[in-house]
Every structure is written in C-alpha cells, then in structure tokens.
Amino acid sequence: MARNPRITFIGAGSTVFMKNIVGDVLQRPALSGATIALMDINPQRLEESAVVVNKLIATLGVKAKAETYSDQRKALKGADFVVVAFQIGGYEPCTVTDFEVPKKYGLRQTIADTLGVGGIMRGLRTVPHLWNICEDMLAVCPEAIMLQYVNPMAINTWAIAEKYPTIKQVGLCHSVQGTAMELAHDLDLPYEEIRYRSAGINHMAFYLKFEHRQPDGTYRDLYPDLVRAYREGRAPKPGWNPRCPNKVRYEMLTRLGYFVTESSEHFAEYTPYFIKDGRGDLIEKYGIPLDEYPKRCIEQIERWKGQAEAYRSADRIEVEQSKEYASSIMNSVWTGEPSVIYGNVRNNGCITSLPSDCAAEVPCLVDASGIQPTYIGDLPPQLTALIRTNINVQELTVRALMSENREHIYHAAMMDPHTAAELDLDQIWSLVDDLLAAHGDWLPAWARTGRKTQAA
C-alpha cells in the first residue's frame, strides 16, 4: 500500500493560513491520507488549529489524521514537507516597536516587514529561528522540503541557503498570482485567459510579459491597455482594502514600463520617491496608507476572536481552493505530475543581472525531482538597477547574521532607499541603536546592545 505523506506545520497557530493550506492539501486525492503534524509554542492557538483540522477532515470525509506537538523536533521527525508560518515577536511588542521607534525620527512606514529598518529588524529576529528549524530538519528529516511563508522572505531564503545549503527550501508568496488576478479584474478580462512571466526578488518582481489569449490562439500584449486604463482613470479599480488604492504601482509602470508584483503599500517604502517628510501631497495623490500593517494586525486580532468561536461551534468547515502554491508543490513532488509555481530560491544564475547568491523569485518547475528554478537571463536594466537597491539591504542583513557583525546592521540601514531618503547618518545610527535596545531579548545575543560609539 502506498505511503501517505507527513506534513508538518511549524507555527500552526497561524490558524486561518494553516486552514487554507490543509484545505487545499486534503482536496488532492494523493495527499488526502496525509498525517498533519501541528506544532506551535502557544497551546491555545495549537488547540484551536487542531479543532479546525479535525473538522476539515470530517467535512471532506478523508483519511487524514492530525497530531499536535509543542516540541519542534518531534513534530518534524519523518516529515516529507515542512510548512513554516510564524511571526517572531508578534504584533506586540515587536511590530509596534518597528513602527513607533522610527516614527520618533520622522521615519514613517507602511508595512515594514520586508525592507527598511522594520524589515531589517524582523530579519534579525526571524532568521535564527529558521536556522533552528534547519538544524532539526537535518537531524530528523533531511530530505524534507521546507515551504517557507515567513517575512522578510528574501532575507530568510538567502540566509537559509547561505548557512544550510543542503536544505531543500522554497520561499512562497501569493503576490505574483494575486496581482495577476487584480490586473485581469482591472481590465475586465477572465484571469484564465491571461499569460504572464514574472521575475525579480520577492515583493519586487516584475511581469516581463503580461498577455491576453486571443480567439485565434495568439497572445496580445496588455501593457498598453494597463497604461491607457490608468491614464484615463479606469484603473486601478477599488480593491479589498479602501485604504490602499494601488496607484503607486501604476505610476511606476508608466516610469519603468513594467508592473511590479507586490502591492502599492509595500512598494511605496521600497523606493525613495513616495513617502517624504513635508510632502503630504504625495501621500494624498498616491493614496499611501501610512501605518497600514499595525492597522491590519489589530483588525486581524479582532476578527480572529469571532472566527475561533465560529470554528469551534461549527459542525462542518467548508473549504474553497486557495491561491497558495503549497498543495500544488506537494502534489507534484508526491505524484510526479508536473506543475509550475513562482518560488523564492537561491539565484544561482537564473537571473544573470543579479548576484548569484541572492534570493530570486522565478518560475519553477515542480515534479518528482523537486523544485527546479528556470533560467531568465538579464532583466531590463532599469529593473535590475531598482532591484539591486533592495538586494543591498538584504545582503548586508544576511552578512550581519552570518558573521555576527553588528556593524553590518547599521550598514544595511544606511543602504535602505527610504531610510536614506529621510534621515542623515547620525540619525540612522541613533535609530538603529534605539531599535536594537528596544527589541532586547527578541534579537540574537550578538545584536542585543546598541553601539555606544560611532565608527571613526
């Protein structure tokens, strides 16, 4: 009898996310008998997640089973796939710190989970925990594939590849397929008729092609339509969040000739052009939602209270297919049936105009041999140049983590496009001091005390 896969969730208390992935998995016949191992450090969230998984199993009538663990290594033992989704330090205290401390310097952010001083601090908090998972995987499931859904995605992926090159890993995000769906909606076209090819780094990848299938089977470039719709005020259409009107990306399309895959609220803080002290006109013109991520966190915490109760009292939990890639990857590896996903992996020459060791987001073929990134070649020079400004910050953060050299934390902040556009060197140094001190024990020991003296 064929063996069923063992799928371990580290950070299983991210219940809504875990529910979506498990729901996808259990609807695939080859995976429907899986053992779902749930691990979390929060016993209440872990118990809530187990309730949800067991109800999903009952609703779908499949032979899967759920197990819960507080011990990470035990949960990982014998795993075929390891799904990682956690936020070290949570909304409180760490996200609050990442926003409030920079604000004292006049440095305002929107999301702060990928780049900027917020992204750097999140990377320093997060990578040591991911490395710890890698250690345990090497001990008890060295052949497992890590499906990593944690921000800052590029920093994390790079740091894992650097320290644990034998770990099979992919960083996963839904911005590529999610944005393609948004653009199809903006143009009133069925998503199923869209063809695209995207490449870059996580949260700053670009659609190199964005096309619509014609009745005769040929494809038509949609970029002229997107630019025209923006110029005529027909795009962007209102989205799921009225605070985030998505104008930044359309504006950048008119300047670069290509559309970026991550949302306008993210993109506004990856560049020096949109959030500027004393320029309220820019904030208003492009609808830039300052402090957006803390607002979402508060809303999510509030929403979860009712959601947890609803799940607990429900007899059945209905499942819709999500747009996450996890189940597709597992199914392809397990059955050999090929699929294509967008994944974050070590570049290794896929994008020839970016450093070989950086984390690139490229189309990947998945089958029984695992995840195989595809060759892209050079990106258009303006895209390469903009992406490199973000890679500088990621690289220095990874160097800080690998060498335990605190100087590189300051260097990373110096190189950040938004931080450097707003603050002078003394302010940047002082801000990093304050952030390191405020985060305290959430950081690795070598990073915990702020510099007392500036470099000569």
d(Cα 12, Cα 41) in Å, to the nearest integer? 9
Comparing CA positions, the residue from 126, 130, 127 lying closest to residue 138 is 130
Q: Which helix (H) or strand (E) holds 237?
A: none
Phi, psi of 111 (to 5 degrees): -120, -45
Cα dihedral 245, 256, 419, 242, rounded to 10, equals 0
The Cα 14–Cα 310 span in angstroms is 16
Pairing of strands 81-84, 145-148: parallel
DSSP 393-432: HHHHHHHHHHHT-THHHHHHHHH-HHHHHH--HHHHHHHH
Nearest one of 55, 71, 70, 45 to 22, comparing CA atoms: 55
Question: Which position among 174, 185, 212, 439 bears the catalytic label?
Answer: 174
Chain Cα centroid distance, residue 209: 22
Residue 341 pairs with which residues in a beta bridge? Answer: 364
Can 174 be counted among the known catalytic residues? yes
CB 94 within 8 A of CB 159: no
d(CA 350, CA 331): 25
How far apart, in whole angstroms, are the C-alpha atoms of residue 209 and residue 43? 46
Is the distance from CB of 247 to CB of 254 less than 8 angstroms? no
Q: Are 25 and 81 in contact (CB under 8 A)?
A: no
Given a contact cutoff of 8 angstroms between Cβ atoms, the answer to whether 201 and 360 are in contact is yes
Rounded to an integer, what distance in angstroms lies between the CA atom of residue 99 and that of residue 275?
14
> What six digits make up the tokens of 156?
């994390």
Dihedral sign from CA coordinates of 297, 299, 305, 306: negative
Q: Could you give the CA distance from residue 203 to residue 253 in angstroms, rounded to a whole number? A: 15
Which residues are tagged catalytic?
174
